[in-house]
Chains A and B, each alone.
Chain A
Amino acid sequence: MSTLEIRNLQVSVDTDNGTVEILKGVDLTIKSGETHAIMGPNGSGKSTLAYSIAGHPKYTITGGSVTLDGVDVLEMTVDERAKAGLFLAMQYPVEVPGVSVSNFLRTAATALRGEAPKLRTWVGEVKDAMEALNMDPSFATRNVNEGFSGGEKKRHEIMQLELLKPKMAILDETDSGLDVDALRIVSEGVNRAKAANNLGVILITHYTRILRYIQPDFVHVFANGRVVEQGGPELAEKLEANGYADYVSK
Protein backbone atom coordinates (compact mmCIF):
# COMPACT_ATOMS: atom_id res chain seq x y z
CA MET A 1 0.00 0.00 0.00
CA SER A 2 1.54 3.27 -1.15
CA THR A 3 0.57 6.89 -0.90
CA LEU A 4 1.65 9.72 -3.16
CA GLU A 5 1.10 13.04 -1.46
CA ILE A 6 1.28 16.38 -3.24
CA ARG A 7 1.10 19.33 -0.87
CA ASN A 8 0.78 22.98 -1.88
CA LEU A 9 3.02 22.36 -4.89
CA GLN A 10 4.22 25.53 -6.59
CA VAL A 11 6.15 25.41 -9.82
CA SER A 12 7.53 27.96 -12.25
CA VAL A 13 9.43 27.90 -15.55
CA ASP A 14 12.12 30.21 -16.79
CA THR A 15 11.27 31.80 -20.10
CA ASP A 16 12.95 34.43 -22.25
CA ASN A 17 10.62 36.93 -20.63
CA GLY A 18 11.43 35.96 -17.08
CA THR A 19 10.02 33.45 -14.63
CA VAL A 20 6.42 32.33 -15.07
CA GLU A 21 4.52 30.79 -12.20
CA ILE A 22 2.43 27.86 -13.45
CA LEU A 23 1.40 25.71 -10.48
CA LYS A 24 0.00 27.81 -7.67
CA GLY A 25 -0.44 25.35 -4.83
CA VAL A 26 -1.61 21.89 -5.86
CA ASP A 27 -2.94 19.44 -3.28
CA LEU A 28 -3.61 15.80 -4.17
CA THR A 29 -3.35 12.47 -2.37
CA ILE A 30 -3.32 9.22 -4.34
CA LYS A 31 -3.34 5.80 -2.74
CA SER A 32 -2.55 2.44 -4.31
CA GLY A 33 -5.45 1.11 -6.34
CA GLU A 34 -7.09 4.52 -6.70
CA THR A 35 -7.68 6.27 -9.99
CA HIS A 36 -7.81 10.06 -10.01
CA ALA A 37 -8.92 11.78 -13.19
CA ILE A 38 -7.65 15.31 -13.74
CA MET A 39 -9.53 17.43 -16.23
CA GLY A 40 -8.94 21.05 -17.08
CA PRO A 41 -8.56 23.55 -19.87
CA ASN A 42 -5.52 23.78 -22.14
CA GLY A 43 -2.62 25.52 -20.51
CA SER A 44 -3.96 25.11 -16.97
CA GLY A 45 -0.81 23.27 -15.86
CA LYS A 46 -1.71 19.57 -16.01
CA SER A 47 1.40 18.50 -17.87
CA THR A 48 3.48 20.77 -15.67
CA LEU A 49 2.19 18.85 -12.67
CA ALA A 50 3.02 15.54 -14.35
CA TYR A 51 6.52 16.63 -15.38
CA SER A 52 7.26 18.18 -11.99
CA ILE A 53 6.44 14.93 -10.21
CA ALA A 54 8.68 13.05 -12.65
CA GLY A 55 11.48 15.60 -12.21
CA HIS A 56 11.83 17.27 -15.61
CA PRO A 57 14.75 19.73 -15.34
CA LYS A 58 12.82 22.52 -17.08
CA TYR A 59 10.59 23.13 -14.06
CA THR A 60 11.60 24.85 -10.86
CA ILE A 61 9.83 23.86 -7.66
CA THR A 62 9.30 27.05 -5.70
CA GLY A 63 7.23 25.63 -2.85
CA GLY A 64 5.36 22.68 -1.42
CA SER A 65 6.20 19.00 -1.32
CA VAL A 66 5.76 15.67 -3.06
CA THR A 67 6.25 12.51 -1.04
CA LEU A 68 5.87 8.81 -1.78
CA ASP A 69 5.18 6.89 1.42
CA GLY A 70 6.62 9.80 3.34
CA VAL A 71 9.86 9.95 1.34
CA ASP A 72 10.70 13.25 -0.34
CA VAL A 73 10.37 12.76 -4.09
CA LEU A 74 11.58 16.24 -5.02
CA GLU A 75 15.03 15.47 -3.62
CA MET A 76 15.40 12.51 -5.97
CA THR A 77 16.99 12.45 -9.42
CA VAL A 78 14.72 11.50 -12.31
CA ASP A 79 15.87 7.88 -12.39
CA GLU A 80 15.57 7.57 -8.60
CA ARG A 81 11.92 8.59 -8.87
CA ALA A 82 11.33 5.80 -11.37
CA LYS A 83 13.14 3.38 -9.08
CA ALA A 84 10.94 4.57 -6.20
CA GLY A 85 7.94 3.44 -8.25
CA LEU A 86 6.77 6.47 -10.23
CA PHE A 87 5.93 6.31 -13.91
CA LEU A 88 4.95 9.02 -16.36
CA ALA A 89 3.23 8.17 -19.63
CA MET A 90 4.01 11.29 -21.59
CA GLN A 91 1.68 13.44 -23.62
CA TYR A 92 4.43 13.70 -26.22
CA PRO A 93 6.77 10.69 -25.95
CA VAL A 94 10.31 11.53 -27.04
CA GLU A 95 12.14 10.03 -30.03
CA VAL A 96 15.58 8.62 -29.25
CA PRO A 97 17.47 8.08 -32.53
CA GLY A 98 19.64 5.00 -32.86
CA VAL A 99 18.36 3.33 -29.67
CA SER A 100 16.21 0.28 -30.34
CA VAL A 101 13.05 -0.36 -28.34
CA SER A 102 14.37 -3.72 -27.19
CA ASN A 103 17.68 -2.26 -25.99
CA PHE A 104 15.83 0.59 -24.26
CA LEU A 105 13.37 -1.72 -22.49
CA ARG A 106 16.09 -4.09 -21.34
CA THR A 107 18.23 -1.23 -20.03
CA ALA A 108 15.24 0.18 -18.16
CA ALA A 109 14.21 -3.20 -16.73
CA THR A 110 17.80 -3.85 -15.64
CA ALA A 111 17.95 -0.49 -13.87
CA LEU A 112 14.59 -0.91 -12.15
CA ARG A 113 15.03 -4.53 -11.11
CA GLY A 114 18.64 -4.10 -10.02
CA GLU A 115 19.81 -6.95 -12.28
CA ALA A 116 19.53 -7.84 -15.93
CA PRO A 117 16.41 -9.91 -16.57
CA LYS A 118 17.12 -13.49 -17.63
CA LEU A 119 17.30 -13.44 -21.39
CA ARG A 120 14.98 -16.42 -21.89
CA THR A 121 12.08 -15.18 -19.82
CA TRP A 122 12.68 -11.58 -20.86
CA VAL A 123 12.14 -12.19 -24.57
CA GLY A 124 8.81 -13.81 -23.79
CA GLU A 125 7.89 -11.02 -21.38
CA VAL A 126 8.45 -8.34 -24.02
CA LYS A 127 6.66 -10.35 -26.67
CA ASP A 128 3.62 -10.78 -24.42
CA ALA A 129 3.59 -7.11 -23.45
CA MET A 130 3.70 -6.05 -27.08
CA GLU A 131 1.04 -8.52 -28.10
CA ALA A 132 -1.22 -7.34 -25.30
CA LEU A 133 -1.04 -3.80 -26.72
CA ASN A 134 -1.53 -5.08 -30.25
CA MET A 135 1.93 -3.90 -31.29
CA ASP A 136 3.69 -5.63 -34.15
CA PRO A 137 6.85 -7.50 -33.01
CA SER A 138 8.86 -5.40 -35.48
CA PHE A 139 8.60 -2.46 -33.07
CA ALA A 140 11.25 -4.14 -30.90
CA THR A 141 13.94 -3.46 -33.48
CA ARG A 142 12.80 0.06 -34.33
CA ASN A 143 14.31 3.11 -32.67
CA VAL A 144 12.47 4.43 -29.62
CA ASN A 145 9.41 6.37 -30.80
CA GLU A 146 11.13 7.26 -34.06
CA GLY A 147 8.57 7.43 -36.83
CA PHE A 148 5.87 5.99 -34.54
CA SER A 149 2.40 7.34 -35.23
CA GLY A 150 0.75 9.29 -32.43
CA GLY A 151 -1.30 6.27 -31.38
CA GLU A 152 1.67 3.91 -31.58
CA LYS A 153 3.63 6.14 -29.24
CA LYS A 154 0.83 5.98 -26.68
CA ARG A 155 0.59 2.21 -26.92
CA HIS A 156 4.35 2.04 -26.44
CA GLU A 157 3.98 4.09 -23.23
CA ILE A 158 1.37 1.74 -21.80
CA MET A 159 3.40 -1.27 -22.88
CA GLN A 160 6.21 0.12 -20.70
CA LEU A 161 3.75 0.66 -17.87
CA GLU A 162 2.89 -3.04 -17.90
CA LEU A 163 6.48 -4.17 -18.29
CA LEU A 164 8.10 -1.89 -15.71
CA LYS A 165 5.43 -2.34 -13.01
CA PRO A 166 5.48 0.98 -11.14
CA LYS A 167 3.49 1.77 -8.00
CA MET A 168 2.07 5.07 -9.21
CA ALA A 169 1.45 6.13 -12.79
CA ILE A 170 0.66 9.51 -14.24
CA LEU A 171 -0.99 9.18 -17.64
CA ASP A 172 -0.84 12.50 -19.45
CA GLU A 173 -3.48 12.49 -22.18
CA THR A 174 -2.75 8.90 -23.06
CA ASP A 175 -6.16 8.80 -24.76
CA SER A 176 -5.49 11.71 -27.12
CA GLY A 177 -4.90 10.61 -30.67
CA LEU A 178 -6.16 7.05 -30.19
CA ASP A 179 -8.73 5.48 -32.48
CA VAL A 180 -11.69 3.71 -30.87
CA ASP A 181 -10.06 0.28 -30.92
CA ALA A 182 -6.72 1.56 -29.64
CA LEU A 183 -8.51 3.41 -26.83
CA ARG A 184 -10.02 0.14 -25.66
CA ILE A 185 -6.72 -1.75 -26.01
CA VAL A 186 -4.77 0.89 -24.10
CA SER A 187 -7.44 1.15 -21.39
CA GLU A 188 -7.35 -2.60 -20.91
CA GLY A 189 -3.59 -2.34 -20.50
CA VAL A 190 -4.00 0.26 -17.75
CA ASN A 191 -6.65 -1.86 -16.05
CA ARG A 192 -4.39 -4.91 -16.18
CA ALA A 193 -1.57 -2.92 -14.58
CA LYS A 194 -3.99 -1.70 -11.91
CA ALA A 195 -5.14 -5.23 -11.15
CA ALA A 196 -1.68 -6.79 -11.26
CA ASN A 197 0.19 -4.23 -9.14
CA ASN A 198 -2.56 -2.39 -7.27
CA LEU A 199 -1.39 0.62 -9.26
CA GLY A 200 -2.40 4.13 -8.27
CA VAL A 201 -3.26 6.26 -11.29
CA ILE A 202 -3.41 9.97 -12.10
CA LEU A 203 -5.23 10.12 -15.39
CA ILE A 204 -5.06 13.45 -17.18
CA THR A 205 -7.64 13.70 -19.92
CA HIS A 206 -9.89 16.00 -21.88
CA TYR A 207 -12.52 13.38 -22.63
CA THR A 208 -14.99 11.34 -20.61
CA ARG A 209 -14.78 8.54 -23.16
CA ILE A 210 -11.70 6.95 -21.55
CA LEU A 211 -13.39 7.15 -18.15
CA ARG A 212 -15.96 4.64 -19.39
CA TYR A 213 -13.11 2.13 -19.69
CA ILE A 214 -10.99 3.21 -16.74
CA GLN A 215 -13.32 3.97 -13.86
CA PRO A 216 -12.08 6.95 -11.83
CA ASP A 217 -12.63 7.01 -8.09
CA PHE A 218 -12.17 10.77 -8.04
CA VAL A 219 -12.38 13.56 -10.59
CA HIS A 220 -10.45 16.79 -10.06
CA VAL A 221 -10.99 19.96 -12.01
CA PHE A 222 -7.73 21.75 -12.72
CA ALA A 223 -7.72 25.42 -13.64
CA ASN A 224 -5.12 28.14 -13.51
CA GLY A 225 -2.46 26.06 -11.79
CA ARG A 226 -4.50 24.44 -9.04
CA VAL A 227 -7.26 21.97 -8.25
CA VAL A 228 -10.48 23.99 -8.11
CA GLU A 229 -13.05 21.27 -7.58
CA GLN A 230 -13.18 17.60 -6.67
CA GLY A 231 -15.91 15.03 -6.99
CA GLY A 232 -16.83 11.54 -8.14
CA PRO A 233 -17.30 10.26 -11.70
CA GLU A 234 -20.46 12.35 -12.08
CA LEU A 235 -18.32 15.51 -12.10
CA ALA A 236 -16.79 14.39 -15.40
CA GLU A 237 -20.23 14.19 -17.00
CA LYS A 238 -21.04 17.66 -15.75
CA LEU A 239 -17.79 19.04 -17.24
CA GLU A 240 -18.54 17.38 -20.55
CA ALA A 241 -21.91 19.12 -20.64
CA ASN A 242 -20.97 22.55 -19.27
CA GLY A 243 -17.25 23.04 -20.05
CA TYR A 244 -14.91 24.94 -17.74
CA ALA A 245 -16.56 28.36 -17.91
CA ASP A 246 -17.54 28.27 -14.23
CA TYR A 247 -13.99 27.56 -13.11
CA VAL A 248 -11.98 29.74 -15.45
CA SER A 249 -13.88 32.92 -14.56
CA LYS A 250 -13.31 32.33 -10.86
Chain B
Amino acid sequence: MSVLTTNYLTPTGREEAWRFTPLKRLRGLHDGVAVQSDRESLITKGALPSGVSFTRENLEPLASSDDVIIERVRGAATSVAHLAIAPNTEVAEPIFLGRSAGALDTAEFSRVRITLGTHAVATVIVENTTDTVLAEDLEIYCAPGSNLKFVTLQEFESKSVYTARHHAVVDKDATFKSITVTVGGDVVRILPTVEFKAPGASADLLGVYFATAGQFFEHRMHVDHAVPHAKSNVNYKGALAGKDAHTVWIGDVLIRAAAEGTDTYELNRNLLLSDGARADSVPNLEIETGEIIGAGHASTTGRFDDEQLFYLMSRGIAMADARRLVVRGFFNEIVSEIGNEEVQNRIMDRIDAELEKAAHNG
Protein backbone atom coordinates (compact mmCIF):
# COMPACT_ATOMS: atom_id res chain seq x y z
CA MET B 1 0.00 0.00 0.00
CA SER B 2 1.17 3.46 -0.79
CA VAL B 3 1.29 5.95 2.01
CA LEU B 4 -1.69 8.26 2.01
CA THR B 5 -0.57 11.80 1.70
CA THR B 6 -2.85 14.74 1.38
CA ASN B 7 -0.60 17.39 -0.05
CA TYR B 8 -0.08 16.27 -3.64
CA LEU B 9 0.97 18.96 -6.01
CA THR B 10 -2.07 20.39 -7.70
CA PRO B 11 -1.51 21.26 -11.35
CA THR B 12 -2.13 24.85 -12.30
CA GLY B 13 -2.47 24.31 -16.02
CA ARG B 14 0.88 25.87 -16.81
CA GLU B 15 2.70 22.51 -16.65
CA GLU B 16 3.58 20.96 -20.01
CA ALA B 17 1.52 17.87 -19.20
CA TRP B 18 -1.58 19.87 -18.27
CA ARG B 19 -1.44 22.81 -20.62
CA PHE B 20 -4.30 21.61 -22.82
CA THR B 21 -6.54 20.04 -20.17
CA PRO B 22 -9.56 22.02 -18.90
CA LEU B 23 -8.80 21.54 -15.18
CA LYS B 24 -12.06 23.18 -14.11
CA ARG B 25 -14.02 20.40 -15.75
CA LEU B 26 -12.16 17.56 -13.99
CA ARG B 27 -14.70 17.50 -11.13
CA GLY B 28 -11.96 17.81 -8.56
CA LEU B 29 -9.93 14.75 -9.60
CA HIS B 30 -6.76 16.78 -9.87
CA ASP B 31 -7.00 19.00 -6.80
CA GLY B 32 -8.43 16.61 -4.22
CA VAL B 33 -11.85 18.22 -4.09
CA ALA B 34 -13.54 15.11 -5.51
CA VAL B 35 -15.36 12.99 -2.93
CA GLN B 36 -14.12 9.43 -3.05
CA SER B 37 -16.76 6.75 -3.51
CA ASP B 38 -16.33 3.12 -2.49
CA ARG B 39 -17.36 1.96 -5.97
CA GLU B 40 -15.37 -0.90 -7.43
CA SER B 41 -17.11 -0.88 -10.78
CA LEU B 42 -14.83 -3.02 -12.92
CA ILE B 43 -16.38 -6.43 -13.53
CA THR B 44 -15.87 -9.30 -15.92
CA LYS B 45 -18.63 -10.03 -18.39
CA GLY B 46 -19.36 -13.69 -18.85
CA ALA B 47 -17.50 -16.69 -17.46
CA LEU B 48 -13.73 -16.62 -17.51
CA PRO B 49 -11.96 -19.27 -19.56
CA SER B 50 -9.61 -21.64 -17.77
CA GLY B 51 -6.22 -20.18 -17.06
CA VAL B 52 -7.75 -16.74 -16.53
CA SER B 53 -8.49 -15.25 -13.11
CA PHE B 54 -9.97 -11.98 -11.92
CA THR B 55 -9.32 -11.13 -8.27
CA ARG B 56 -8.86 -8.21 -5.90
CA GLU B 57 -5.36 -8.06 -4.48
CA ASN B 58 -2.81 -5.81 -2.93
CA LEU B 59 -0.12 -5.17 -5.51
CA GLU B 60 2.75 -2.75 -5.63
CA PRO B 61 2.71 -0.53 -8.73
CA LEU B 62 4.74 -1.79 -11.69
CA ALA B 63 6.13 1.61 -12.46
CA SER B 64 6.35 5.01 -10.88
CA SER B 65 4.28 7.85 -12.23
CA ASP B 66 4.68 11.59 -12.19
CA ASP B 67 1.02 12.11 -12.95
CA VAL B 68 -0.75 13.82 -10.07
CA ILE B 69 -4.04 12.02 -10.54
CA ILE B 70 -2.32 8.61 -10.73
CA GLU B 71 -0.61 9.43 -7.44
CA ARG B 72 -3.97 10.25 -5.90
CA VAL B 73 -5.39 6.98 -7.23
CA ARG B 74 -2.53 5.07 -5.66
CA GLY B 75 -3.14 6.79 -2.39
CA ALA B 76 -6.87 6.25 -2.40
CA ALA B 77 -7.47 2.79 -3.88
CA THR B 78 -7.55 0.02 -1.30
CA SER B 79 -7.00 -2.91 -3.68
CA VAL B 80 -6.14 -3.74 -7.26
CA ALA B 81 -8.50 -5.47 -9.70
CA HIS B 82 -6.23 -8.07 -11.22
CA LEU B 83 -6.87 -9.97 -14.44
CA ALA B 84 -4.24 -12.66 -14.83
CA ILE B 85 -3.70 -14.95 -17.79
CA ALA B 86 -1.58 -17.94 -16.78
CA PRO B 87 1.61 -18.82 -18.65
CA ASN B 88 1.12 -20.67 -21.95
CA THR B 89 -2.62 -20.01 -21.94
CA GLU B 90 -4.00 -19.13 -25.35
CA VAL B 91 -7.44 -17.57 -25.09
CA ALA B 92 -9.18 -17.56 -28.45
CA GLU B 93 -12.24 -15.46 -27.57
CA PRO B 94 -11.86 -11.94 -26.20
CA ILE B 95 -12.11 -11.48 -22.43
CA PHE B 96 -14.61 -8.75 -21.69
CA LEU B 97 -14.27 -6.40 -18.76
CA GLY B 98 -16.42 -3.39 -18.22
CA ARG B 99 -17.74 -0.63 -16.08
CA SER B 100 -21.40 0.22 -16.18
CA ALA B 101 -21.96 1.50 -12.63
CA GLY B 102 -21.11 5.10 -11.93
CA ALA B 103 -22.12 8.41 -10.44
CA LEU B 104 -21.30 12.03 -11.04
CA ASP B 105 -21.35 13.33 -7.46
CA THR B 106 -18.59 11.03 -6.24
CA ALA B 107 -15.38 9.84 -7.86
CA GLU B 108 -14.01 6.35 -8.24
CA PHE B 109 -10.28 5.85 -7.81
CA SER B 110 -9.42 2.56 -9.40
CA ARG B 111 -6.31 0.47 -9.78
CA VAL B 112 -6.26 -2.30 -12.37
CA ARG B 113 -3.61 -4.82 -13.36
CA ILE B 114 -3.51 -7.10 -16.36
CA THR B 115 -0.82 -9.77 -16.29
CA LEU B 116 0.09 -12.06 -19.13
CA GLY B 117 2.25 -15.02 -18.17
CA THR B 118 5.05 -16.19 -20.43
CA HIS B 119 3.79 -17.14 -23.90
CA ALA B 120 0.18 -16.38 -22.97
CA VAL B 121 -2.00 -15.03 -25.78
CA ALA B 122 -5.18 -13.04 -25.16
CA THR B 123 -7.47 -10.23 -26.23
CA VAL B 124 -8.94 -8.08 -23.47
CA ILE B 125 -11.77 -5.68 -24.23
CA VAL B 126 -12.73 -3.10 -21.61
CA GLU B 127 -16.10 -1.45 -22.12
CA ASN B 128 -16.59 1.82 -20.28
CA THR B 129 -20.15 3.08 -20.36
CA THR B 130 -22.47 5.12 -18.09
CA ASP B 131 -22.04 8.61 -16.63
CA THR B 132 -19.26 8.58 -14.09
CA VAL B 133 -16.23 10.27 -12.59
CA LEU B 134 -13.34 7.87 -12.75
CA ALA B 135 -9.60 8.07 -12.26
CA GLU B 136 -7.83 4.90 -13.26
CA ASP B 137 -4.33 3.55 -12.86
CA LEU B 138 -4.20 0.57 -15.21
CA GLU B 139 -0.96 -1.34 -15.53
CA ILE B 140 -0.15 -4.20 -17.85
CA TYR B 141 2.67 -6.67 -17.71
CA CYS B 142 3.42 -8.76 -20.79
CA ALA B 143 5.82 -11.53 -19.76
CA PRO B 144 8.41 -12.85 -22.25
CA GLY B 145 6.90 -14.23 -25.44
CA SER B 146 3.33 -13.23 -24.56
CA ASN B 147 0.90 -11.48 -26.85
CA LEU B 148 -1.85 -9.11 -25.70
CA LYS B 149 -4.41 -7.18 -27.65
CA PHE B 150 -5.86 -4.61 -25.27
CA VAL B 151 -8.98 -2.78 -26.42
CA THR B 152 -10.45 0.05 -24.34
CA LEU B 153 -13.74 1.55 -25.34
CA GLN B 154 -14.72 4.90 -23.90
CA GLU B 155 -18.43 4.86 -24.69
CA PHE B 156 -19.38 7.09 -21.77
CA GLU B 157 -22.44 9.26 -21.55
CA SER B 158 -21.98 12.95 -22.11
CA LYS B 159 -21.15 14.11 -18.56
CA SER B 160 -18.43 11.62 -17.66
CA VAL B 161 -14.96 12.60 -16.60
CA TYR B 162 -12.34 9.91 -17.09
CA THR B 163 -8.63 10.29 -16.54
CA ALA B 164 -6.38 7.29 -16.83
CA ARG B 165 -2.93 5.99 -17.38
CA HIS B 166 -2.67 2.73 -19.32
CA HIS B 167 0.89 1.70 -18.73
CA ALA B 168 2.30 -1.41 -20.41
CA VAL B 169 5.56 -3.05 -19.44
CA VAL B 170 6.58 -5.26 -22.34
CA ASP B 171 9.17 -7.94 -21.75
CA LYS B 172 11.43 -9.92 -24.08
CA ASP B 173 9.85 -10.93 -27.41
CA ALA B 174 6.39 -9.98 -26.13
CA THR B 175 3.85 -8.26 -28.37
CA PHE B 176 1.51 -5.61 -27.04
CA LYS B 177 -1.18 -3.99 -29.12
CA SER B 178 -3.62 -1.46 -27.73
CA ILE B 179 -6.67 -0.06 -29.45
CA THR B 180 -8.09 2.93 -27.65
CA VAL B 181 -11.50 4.16 -28.73
CA THR B 182 -12.89 7.39 -27.28
CA VAL B 183 -16.34 8.40 -28.45
CA GLY B 184 -18.10 9.52 -25.27
CA GLY B 185 -17.67 11.64 -22.17
CA ASP B 186 -17.25 15.29 -21.26
CA VAL B 187 -13.53 15.12 -20.48
CA VAL B 188 -11.43 12.07 -21.29
CA ARG B 189 -7.71 12.12 -20.70
CA ILE B 190 -5.77 8.92 -21.31
CA LEU B 191 -2.04 8.37 -21.04
CA PRO B 192 -1.17 5.26 -23.06
CA THR B 193 2.42 4.62 -22.05
CA VAL B 194 4.85 1.83 -22.85
CA GLU B 195 8.09 0.74 -21.37
CA PHE B 196 10.21 -2.00 -22.96
CA LYS B 197 11.94 -4.39 -20.60
CA ALA B 198 14.06 -6.42 -23.02
CA PRO B 199 14.98 -6.80 -26.70
CA GLY B 200 12.50 -8.21 -29.17
CA ALA B 201 9.53 -6.48 -27.54
CA SER B 202 7.03 -4.64 -29.69
CA ALA B 203 4.13 -2.29 -29.11
CA ASP B 204 1.38 -1.06 -31.39
CA LEU B 205 -0.63 1.83 -29.99
CA LEU B 206 -3.70 2.43 -32.10
CA GLY B 207 -6.60 4.70 -31.41
CA VAL B 208 -9.62 6.54 -32.70
CA TYR B 209 -11.55 9.40 -31.20
CA PHE B 210 -14.54 11.46 -32.25
CA ALA B 211 -15.30 14.65 -30.34
CA THR B 212 -18.48 16.64 -30.85
CA ALA B 213 -19.53 20.05 -29.51
CA GLY B 214 -17.95 20.83 -26.16
CA GLN B 215 -16.16 17.52 -25.67
CA PHE B 216 -12.50 17.36 -24.66
CA PHE B 217 -10.53 14.21 -25.46
CA GLU B 218 -6.81 13.98 -24.79
CA HIS B 219 -4.51 11.07 -25.63
CA ARG B 220 -0.97 11.49 -24.48
CA MET B 221 1.37 8.65 -25.51
CA HIS B 222 4.74 7.99 -24.06
CA VAL B 223 6.89 5.23 -25.50
CA ASP B 224 10.17 4.63 -23.73
CA HIS B 225 12.78 2.78 -25.76
CA ALA B 226 15.36 2.02 -23.09
CA VAL B 227 16.51 -1.35 -24.45
CA PRO B 228 17.89 -2.40 -27.85
CA HIS B 229 15.86 -3.93 -30.68
CA ALA B 230 12.35 -3.03 -29.63
CA LYS B 231 9.70 -1.87 -32.06
CA SER B 232 6.87 0.60 -31.65
CA ASN B 233 4.16 1.89 -33.89
CA VAL B 234 1.61 4.57 -33.00
CA ASN B 235 -1.40 5.36 -35.16
CA TYR B 236 -4.25 7.53 -33.88
CA LYS B 237 -7.06 8.93 -35.98
CA GLY B 238 -9.53 11.51 -34.81
CA ALA B 239 -12.53 13.40 -36.07
CA LEU B 240 -14.03 16.57 -34.65
CA ALA B 241 -17.33 18.24 -35.31
CA GLY B 242 -19.12 21.03 -33.54
CA LYS B 243 -18.34 24.14 -31.58
CA ASP B 244 -15.54 23.78 -29.05
CA ALA B 245 -14.93 20.14 -29.77
CA HIS B 246 -11.31 19.82 -28.71
CA THR B 247 -8.89 16.92 -29.05
CA VAL B 248 -5.28 16.65 -28.04
CA TRP B 249 -2.85 14.05 -29.23
CA ILE B 250 0.69 14.03 -27.86
CA GLY B 251 3.14 11.44 -29.11
CA ASP B 252 6.26 11.37 -27.00
CA VAL B 253 8.74 8.75 -28.15
CA LEU B 254 12.07 8.54 -26.40
CA ILE B 255 14.93 6.49 -27.85
CA ARG B 256 17.58 6.27 -25.18
CA ALA B 257 21.30 5.82 -25.86
CA ALA B 258 21.06 2.11 -25.06
CA ALA B 259 18.18 1.51 -27.49
CA GLU B 260 20.16 0.54 -30.56
CA GLY B 261 18.21 -1.13 -33.33
CA THR B 262 14.99 0.69 -32.41
CA ASP B 263 12.28 0.85 -35.03
CA THR B 264 9.50 3.34 -34.39
CA TYR B 265 6.88 5.30 -36.27
CA GLU B 266 4.05 7.48 -35.06
CA LEU B 267 1.17 8.93 -36.95
CA ASN B 268 -1.78 11.11 -36.01
CA ARG B 269 -4.44 12.16 -38.49
CA ASN B 270 -7.34 14.45 -37.71
CA LEU B 271 -10.44 15.19 -39.70
CA LEU B 272 -12.01 18.57 -38.93
CA LEU B 273 -15.63 18.27 -39.90
CA SER B 274 -16.80 21.73 -38.93
CA ASP B 275 -15.64 25.17 -37.92
CA GLY B 276 -15.12 25.94 -34.26
CA ALA B 277 -13.41 22.63 -33.46
CA ARG B 278 -9.77 22.37 -32.51
CA ALA B 279 -7.33 19.48 -32.89
CA ASP B 280 -3.94 19.77 -31.23
CA SER B 281 -1.39 17.27 -32.49
CA VAL B 282 2.15 17.20 -31.16
CA PRO B 283 4.50 14.41 -32.21
CA ASN B 284 7.74 14.51 -30.27
CA LEU B 285 10.63 12.23 -31.05
CA GLU B 286 13.74 12.34 -28.90
CA ILE B 287 16.68 10.32 -30.20
CA GLU B 288 19.82 9.70 -28.16
CA THR B 289 21.44 7.12 -30.45
CA GLY B 290 22.09 7.06 -34.18
CA GLU B 291 22.21 3.27 -34.33
CA ILE B 292 18.55 2.73 -35.10
CA ILE B 293 16.56 1.03 -37.85
CA GLY B 294 14.05 3.79 -38.23
CA ALA B 295 12.27 6.61 -36.45
CA GLY B 296 9.64 8.81 -37.94
CA HIS B 297 6.47 10.70 -37.30
CA ALA B 298 3.71 12.42 -39.21
CA SER B 299 0.74 14.49 -38.24
CA THR B 300 -2.00 15.80 -40.49
CA THR B 301 -5.17 17.74 -39.91
CA GLY B 302 -7.56 18.17 -42.80
CA ARG B 303 -11.13 18.64 -43.85
CA PHE B 304 -13.41 16.49 -45.99
CA ASP B 305 -11.82 15.71 -49.31
CA ASP B 306 -14.11 17.35 -51.91
CA GLU B 307 -12.96 14.93 -54.60
CA GLN B 308 -14.01 11.92 -52.53
CA LEU B 309 -17.40 13.42 -51.74
CA PHE B 310 -17.91 14.36 -55.39
CA TYR B 311 -17.02 10.88 -56.58
CA LEU B 312 -19.49 9.23 -54.20
CA MET B 313 -22.24 11.75 -54.90
CA SER B 314 -21.78 11.41 -58.65
CA ARG B 315 -23.01 7.84 -58.13
CA GLY B 316 -26.24 9.07 -56.58
CA ILE B 317 -25.16 8.94 -52.94
CA ALA B 318 -26.59 11.89 -50.96
CA MET B 319 -24.21 14.29 -49.21
CA ALA B 320 -24.96 13.04 -45.69
CA ASP B 321 -24.44 9.42 -46.74
CA ALA B 322 -21.27 10.29 -48.62
CA ARG B 323 -19.87 12.02 -45.54
CA ARG B 324 -20.80 9.04 -43.42
CA LEU B 325 -19.03 6.68 -45.82
CA VAL B 326 -15.89 8.81 -45.84
CA VAL B 327 -15.80 9.10 -42.04
CA ARG B 328 -16.40 5.37 -41.59
CA GLY B 329 -13.71 4.70 -44.15
CA PHE B 330 -11.32 7.00 -42.32
CA PHE B 331 -11.80 5.12 -39.03
CA ASN B 332 -12.11 1.66 -40.55
CA GLU B 333 -8.36 1.09 -40.79
CA ILE B 334 -8.13 1.09 -36.99
CA VAL B 335 -11.58 -0.05 -35.87
CA SER B 336 -11.25 -3.19 -38.00
CA GLU B 337 -8.17 -4.10 -35.94
CA ILE B 338 -10.41 -4.78 -32.92
CA GLY B 339 -11.25 -8.10 -34.56
CA ASN B 340 -14.71 -8.44 -33.00
CA GLU B 341 -17.54 -7.84 -35.44
CA GLU B 342 -20.14 -6.93 -32.79
CA VAL B 343 -17.92 -4.36 -31.08
CA GLN B 344 -16.77 -2.93 -34.41
CA ASN B 345 -20.34 -2.45 -35.61
CA ARG B 346 -21.35 -0.82 -32.34
CA ILE B 347 -18.43 1.63 -32.53
CA MET B 348 -19.17 2.45 -36.17
CA ASP B 349 -22.85 3.02 -35.33
CA ARG B 350 -21.82 5.31 -32.48
CA ILE B 351 -19.59 7.22 -34.89
CA ASP B 352 -22.53 7.55 -37.31
CA ALA B 353 -24.66 8.83 -34.45
CA GLU B 354 -22.04 11.37 -33.38
CA LEU B 355 -21.77 12.59 -36.97
CA GLU B 356 -25.52 12.93 -37.23
CA LYS B 357 -25.70 14.76 -33.91
CA ALA B 358 -23.05 17.17 -35.15
CA ALA B 359 -24.91 17.75 -38.41
CA HIS B 360 -28.11 18.60 -36.51
CA ASN B 361 -26.36 21.04 -34.23
CA GLY B 362 -24.99 22.82 -37.29
Contacts and interface: CB of A to CB of B under 8 A. Distances in A.
Same assembly: yes
Interface of A: 54-58, 77-79, 81-83, 87-88, 90, 93-99, 103-104, 107-108, 111-112, 143-144, 160, 164
Contacts of B333: 97-98
Interface stretch (B100-108, B274-282, B307-315): B307-315
Contacts of A107: 312, 317, 321, 325
A99 B317 contact: no
A167 B63 CA distance: 67
7 contacts: A55-B314, A57-B306, A96-B326, A96-B329, A97-B333, A98-B329, A160-B315
Nearest to B324: A107
Interface of B: 306-308, 310-319, 321-322, 325-326, 328-333
A79 B308 contact: no
Contacts of A56: 310
Contact of A143 (B315, B322, B329): B329
A160 B312 CA distance: 12
A147 to B, nearest CB: 14
B325 A99 contact: yes
A164 B314 CA distance: 11
A82 B306 CA distance: 17
Contacts of A93: 311
A108 to B, nearest CB: 4
A66 to B, nearest CB: 15
A78 B310 contact: yes
Contacts of A108: 312, 315-317
A96 B321 contact: no
A222 to B, nearest CB: 21
Nearest to B336: A98
A82 B321 CA distance: 15
A88 B315 CA distance: 8
A83 B325 contact: no
Contacts of B317: 79, 107-108, 111
Contacts of B314: 54-55, 78-79, 81-82, 87-88, 90
A90 B310 CA distance: 11
A15 to B, nearest CB: 16
A56 B312 CA distance: 11
B325 A104 contact: yes
Contact of B326 (A82, A99, A111, A164): A99
